[in-house]
Structure 1
Amino acid sequence: MAVACALAALLAGCQTVGAGSPSGPDLDTRLHDADVMSEVNGNVVAKAAYWGGLYEQDPRDAEAAAEYASALRAVGSTAAAIDVLRRAESLNPDDPRILAEYGKTLTSSGRAAEALPVFDKALAVDPDNWRTLSAQGVALDQVGQHDAARAVYRAAIAAAPGEPTPWNNLGMSYALTNDLKDAELAMRKAVSTPRATGKMRQNLALVLGLRGDYTDAERLASAPTAPAAISGDAEKLRAIVTQPALWAREANADNNPVIIE
């Protein structure tokens, strides 16, 4: 596949992988190096090269297809990710990893309405997967079904009480409808967990700023772990709160406050 070849070229020169193509020790070494780079450095290009190589070797490998598509989505190659997932779903029609990633990719490309039945299929097979539940909630929020989204986030919280992502997404769902008190309560739950990220603390700062609590918002924004450009994100959040249709456009942007995981 051309995308896999281009990604592999960033590592050590591309050879097309597939039937009748060179493999052996050289390919194994490149894949191993890419795997190490992706884990140590959080390098999504290396991750895409690694999983792309495995996927090219065996398109029936559901794990490789899902991970490859996830990496392609992370580097912005959404159309390529969808192509991989369509093929993977035809080969593994009931695999929850494929279905969940397919739903996330459709959601991140602004096609939430198409994602919802895909999430339903994934959850029919793996009903307690908090990541799939949380991602389904994002899709529901995108199409304006906020009450349904919040119910799904709470199901994700029940399935994984220590995970901050569903709390974060619940808080941002409330922010979408300008229910800022409930948004703050949910966001504080998110940031109180050990696995909370700087992005989540930024999201809480944005909500606090919208509520007029600039002192606490500034404290969070100036913390060592806080990402930059709080003011710009605050303007974006204000726009999202007043124009929920912007959610779809910003679904997978770098500064988007909602986390799809």
Structure 2
Amino acid sequence: MPIKALNHRARHLISTAFMAALAASVAGCGSTSQMTTGSISRSDRRPLETMSAGELHTATSRLGESYARNPNDKRMAMNFAAALQMDGDADQSLAVMRKLAIAYPKDRDVLAAYGKALAANGQFEPALDAVRRAQTPEYPDWKLVSAEAAILDQMGQKDEARQDYRKALELKPNEPSVLSNLGMSYVLEGDLRTAETYMRSAAEQPGADSRVRQNLALVVGL
């Protein structure tokens, strides 16, 4: 396969993995309030990612109504931003998170989610800054380290990205999402053999989810 075509497909794959890494960082920060994409109402507690397109759009509208009533509610704003992102409205998602980041300038959950929104809009340098500010150096969060690596990969800084992926693996050995993202990094430069090695290892881990297995299948098909 021509390297140009490979890079185009690899970019799509790494972008998908990158968003997953940032989503994990948002859910996993160690502050007092953790963001979830959780329920829209007491009668519907399904995660947003399990909804159909129509259901997601309806859920996003409901979240928007709740957000309008109380835009400074951190959890509501973050849920609304996540729903907007999944519903294809990255610009409005970023606007919601930018406003929230002004209200909560030092909140780790907010900074991580803001970084995700920035990155989804292609603003990688400010995204990297936000994710780094969400990190606590003395107690590093492996999910944020992995998210930082994914952003660096998007910026073409593969050596720095892989250093961060390996740091994340030191903090969380054999974590399938990190192994998968590290494999994606090698896909970007066309090293499919190394990529497949990491991604097979990721898929074999007990905690591997369907996304990790799907990424492996896509790489094998390149």
Normalization by structure 2: what TM-score? 0.69
Q: Which residue of 2 aligns with 1:98?
A: 110
Q: Distance in 1 between matches of 2:162 and 2:143?
A: 14
Q: How does 1:89-238 map to 2 (within 5 A)?
A: 89-124=101-136, 128-161=140-173, 163-209=175-221, 234=222
Q: Distance in 1 between matches of 2:128 and 2:202?
A: 25
Q: Which residue of 1 aligns with 2:100?
A: 88
- Which residue, 34, 38, 41 being the options, matches 1:31? 41
Q: Distance in 1 between matches of 2:163 and 2:194?
A: 14
Q: Which runs of 5+ in 2 are unaligned?
A: 1-39
Aligned length in residues: 180
Query: Which stretch of structure 1 is more off in the superposition, 185-194 or 57-66?
Result: 57-66
Identical counterparts, % of pairs:
36
Q: Which runs of 5+ in 1 are unaligned?
A: 1-29, 210-233, 235-261
Report the CA distance shift for 1:50/1:163 in structure 2 as closer, same or farther (over 3 A): farther
* Greater RCO, 1 or 2 (C-alpha within 8 Å, sep 6+): 2
Q: Distance in 1 between matches of 2:137 and 2:75?
A: 16
Q: Distance in 2 between matches of 1:67 and 1:80?
A: 13
In the alignment, residue 36 of structure 1 is paired with which amino acid? R
Q: Distance in 2 between matches of 1:123 and 1:59?
A: 25
CA contact (8 A) 2:81 2:94 kept: yes
CA contact (8 A) 1:63 1:97 kept: no
Cα deviation digits, residues 142-177 of structure 1 (max 9, x gap): 111111111222233333335421111110001112
Q: Which residue of 2 aligns with 1:76?
A: 88
Q: Distance in 1 between matches of 2:199 and 2:106?
A: 34
CA contact (8 A) 1:171 1:183 kept: yes
In the alignment, residue 83 of structure 2 is paired with which amino acid? A
Following superposition, the deviation at residue 127 of structure 1 comes to 5.2
Query: Which stretch of structure 1 is more off in the superposition, 73-82 or 61-70?
Result: 61-70
In the alignment, residue 96 of structure 2 is paired with which amino acid? V
Report the CA distance shift for 1:63/1:137 in structure 2 as closer, same or farther (over 3 A): same
Normalization by structure 1: what TM-score? 0.60
Q: Distance in 2 between matches of 1:194 and 1:51?
A: 34
Following superposition, the deviation at residue 53 of structure 1 comes to 4.5
Q: Distance in 1 between matches of 2:119 and 2:49?
A: 28
Question: What secondary structure is seen at the aligned counterpart in 2 of 1:59?
Answer: coil
Q: Distance in 1 between matches of 2:97 and 2:49?
A: 26
CA contact (8 A) 1:99 1:119 kept: yes
Question: What secondary structure is seen at the aligned counterpart in 2 of 1:128?
Answer: coil
Query: Which stretch of structure 1 is more off in the superposition, 104-113 or 58-67?
Result: 58-67
CA contact (8 A) 2:145 2:168 kept: yes
CA contact (8 A) 1:146 1:173 kept: yes
Question: What secondary structure is seen at the aligned counterpart in 1 of 2:41?
Answer: helix
* CA RMSD after TM alignment: 2.7
Report the CA distance shift for 1:128/1:54 in structure 2 as closer, same or farther (over 3 A): farther
Cα deviation digits, residues 161-205 of structure 1 (max 9, x gap): 354211111100011122333212210121012332333223223
Question: What secondary structure is seen at the aligned counterpart in 2 of 1:103?
Answer: helix
- Which residue, 60, 65, 69 being the options, matches 2:77? 65
Q: Distance in 2 between matches of 1:53 and 1:46?
A: 11
